């Protein structure tokens, strides 16, 4: 089978290829086509990726600038594009911050602007994939993942699955903290992309959620809680997605971002620019080892800076937790272990393995609701734990959702649906309404000013709206 990665000139392509190479034989994928519209970045990161997987004989990596050539006869496509590049992300953030609003790239105005220029490109890619591929399943990693996937489904592309390594990472990070195998954990997660709560945790079939949440050591020291006031964690009684920090501690996040010398986007742009400048001085085909060393050095710095701006320069430390001390003992492993793979390549590979080889697994992915959450529409894209097997993904049923979570989900989904409609109609008025309906904006006049400013700074991508 063949797979294409659209956006193959991105800095994370190397990690993607490394993950894929480890399990390509098992998944039956013998060719990966890396496609990007930026020939220089494709050449650099594509060849570093080839070096990184050099010992893997099974997987062939092909570089191309043509979307048609990339997806012709492929069985799977992963999309990871960034329309406007890192510079576009910086404009998204600063345009919002200038008006006193959080401009994070997937949440609020930043995600809105990103979606406006991304959805049309993704729709065109999906048209070509439908025409040229072998009825390919498309794993959409392009941000904002939930909103973009919603737009694709609205156009009738039901072969798209939204993926986010942040969602799968909830299980992986908890497993690391508890020093258990991630495949031994079951976590029920629900919500929207970057807007989720986990309200059930089982270890080898035994429910340990209440035990964890009633233990002060867990509440105080589990690293994913370090974003939040602990009394809030006790109150909501759930494992919140890290991006809920922008909602639960909005003024704190905004204050920290405004005080920082660089936004997250500006930090990424600086690091990526420095990386490219260094890599341009290296012949990546003749000296790939040196290029790979430089790449890893900069990526380590990039990962270390994650969320540090929003947290006022603090870094979240991972502290191992002892099961016995947490009151959890005597739970023994049983049955076959299916490894939960990290990163967005891992999510795609786990899905492919489950469907192709009928090896059931639970994965948190972005799919149509189809009655799983009773207050959401059937065609609403939700991020939710799904049972995946040969028949595909089936969302788990979520019976009781706290009212505050329900209202936040409905409000953000209203914004998403309205944004999809605004892009389809190229309507400024619908765009104003969409952004006004986002909880981090909540004002028509502010939404209008934001939309018009984004139209100016991204005129080359957005064109004329009415």
Q: What's the pLDDT score for residue 87?
A: 97
Q: Are 90 and 267 in contact (CB under 8 A)?
A: no
With respect to residue 346, please indicate whether it lies within any of the assigned structural domains. Answer: no
Whether 140 maps to a domain, the answer reads yes
CA gap 245, 227 in Å, rounded: 7
Give the pair of three-digit tokens for residue 252. Answer: 């704190």
Let me know if residue 388 belongs to a domain. no
Number of domain units in the chain: 1
**Token pair belonging to 49:** 């990726």
CATH number for the domain spanning 30: value is 3.40.50.720
Above 80 in pLDDT, residue 310? no
Cβ contacts of residue 385 below 8 Å, gap of 6+? 187, 188, 189, 190, 362, 363, 364, 395, 396
Whether 65 is covered by a domain: the verdict is yes
> Which of 412, 416, 434, 364 shows the shortest CA–CA distance to 165?
364
The residue written with tokens 């920082």 in the block is 260
- DSSP lists the bridge partners of residue 281 as none
Quick count: other Cβ atoms within 10 Å of Cβ 88? 23
Q: Is the pLDDT of residue 335 over 60?
A: no
Encode pLDDT of 118-153 as tens digits.
Answer: 999 999 999 999 999 999 999 999 999 999 999 999
The structure tokens listed for 435 are 């952004």
Does any domain span residue 433? no
Cα(156)–Cα(151) distance, rounded to whole angstroms? 9
Q: How large is the average pLDDT for residues 370-397?
A: 97
Confidence of residue 305 (pLDDT cuts 50, 70, 90): low
Question: What value does the mean pLDDT of the chain take?
Answer: 93
Whether 281 maps to a domain, the answer reads no
What mean pLDDT is predicted for residues 333-362?
81
Rounded to two decimals, the pTM is 0.94
Q: What is the tens place of the pLDDT at every residue in 253-263?
A: 999 999 999 99
Determine, yes or no, domain membership for 288: no
Q: Which two tokens stand for residue 229?
A: 């006031």
DSSP class of residue 138?
Answer: E
Q: Give the whole-angstrom CA distance, residue 425 versus residue 430.
A: 8
Q: Which residue has the higher pLDDT, 169 or 397?
A: 397
Q: In terms of residue numbers, what domain contains 96?
A: 2-163
Residue 63, helix vs strand vs coil: strand
In a domain, 70, yes or no: yes
- Distance from the Cα of residue 376 to its chain's centroid: 21
């Amino acid at each position: 089978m063949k797979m294409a990665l659209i956006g193959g000139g991105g800095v994370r392509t190397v990690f993607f290829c490394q993950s894929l190479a480890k399990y390509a034989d098992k998944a039956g994928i013998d060719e990966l086509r890396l496609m990007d519209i930026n020939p220089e970045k494709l050449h650099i990161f594509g060849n570093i990726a080839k070096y990184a997987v050099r010992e893997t004989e099974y997987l062939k990596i092909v570089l191309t600038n043509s979307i048609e050539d990339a997806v012709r006869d492929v069985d799977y496509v992963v999309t990871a594009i960034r329309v406007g590049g890192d510079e576009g992300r910086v404009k998204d953030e600063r345009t919002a911050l200038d008006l006193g609003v959080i401009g994070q790239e997937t949440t609020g105005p930043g995600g809105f602007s990103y979606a406006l220029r991304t959805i049309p490109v993704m729709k065109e890619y999906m048209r070509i994939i439908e025409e040229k591929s072998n009825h390919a399943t498309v794993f959409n990693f392009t941000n904002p993942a939930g909103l973009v996937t919603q737009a694709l489904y609205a156009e009738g592309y039901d072969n798209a699955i939204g993926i986010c390594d942040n969602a799968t990472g909830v299980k992986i990070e908890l497993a690391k903290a508890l020093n258990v195998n991630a495949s031994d954990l079951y976590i029920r997660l629900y919500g929207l992309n970057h807007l989720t709560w986990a309200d059930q945790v089982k270890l080898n079939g035994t429910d340990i959620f209440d035990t964890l949440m009633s233990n002060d050591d867990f509440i105080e020291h589990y690293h994913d809680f370090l974003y939040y006031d602990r009394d809030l964690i006790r109150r909501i009684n759930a494992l919140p997605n890290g991006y809920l920090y922008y909602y639960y501690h909005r003024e704190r996040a905004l204050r920290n971002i405004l005080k920082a010398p660089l936004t997250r986007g500006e930090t990424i742009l600086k690091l990526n620019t420095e990386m490219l400048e260094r890599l341009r001085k290296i012949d990546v085909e003749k000296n790939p080892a040196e290029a790979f060393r430089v790449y890893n050095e900069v990526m380590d710095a990039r990962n270390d800076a994650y969320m540090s701006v929003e947290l006022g320069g603090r870094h979240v430390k991972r502290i191992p937790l002892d099961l016995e001390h947490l009151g959890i003992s005597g739970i023994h492993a049983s049955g076959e272990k299916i490894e939960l793979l990290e990163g967005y390549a891992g999510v795609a590979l786990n899905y492919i393995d489950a469907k192709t080889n009928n090896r059931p697994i639970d994965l948190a992915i972005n799919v149509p609701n189809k009655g799983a959450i009773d207050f959401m529409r059937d065609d609403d894209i939700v991020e939710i734990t799904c049972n995946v097997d040969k028949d595909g993904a089936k969302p788990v049923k979520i019976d009781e959702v706290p009212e505050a979570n329900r209202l936040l989900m409905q409000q953000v989904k209203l914004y998403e649906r309205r944004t999809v409609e605004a892009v389809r109609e190229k309507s400024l008025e619908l765009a104003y309404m969409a952004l006004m309906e986002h909880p981090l904006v909540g004002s028509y006049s502010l939404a209008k000013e934001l939309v018009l400013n984004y139209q100016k700074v991204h005129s080359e991508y957005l064109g004329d709206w009415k």
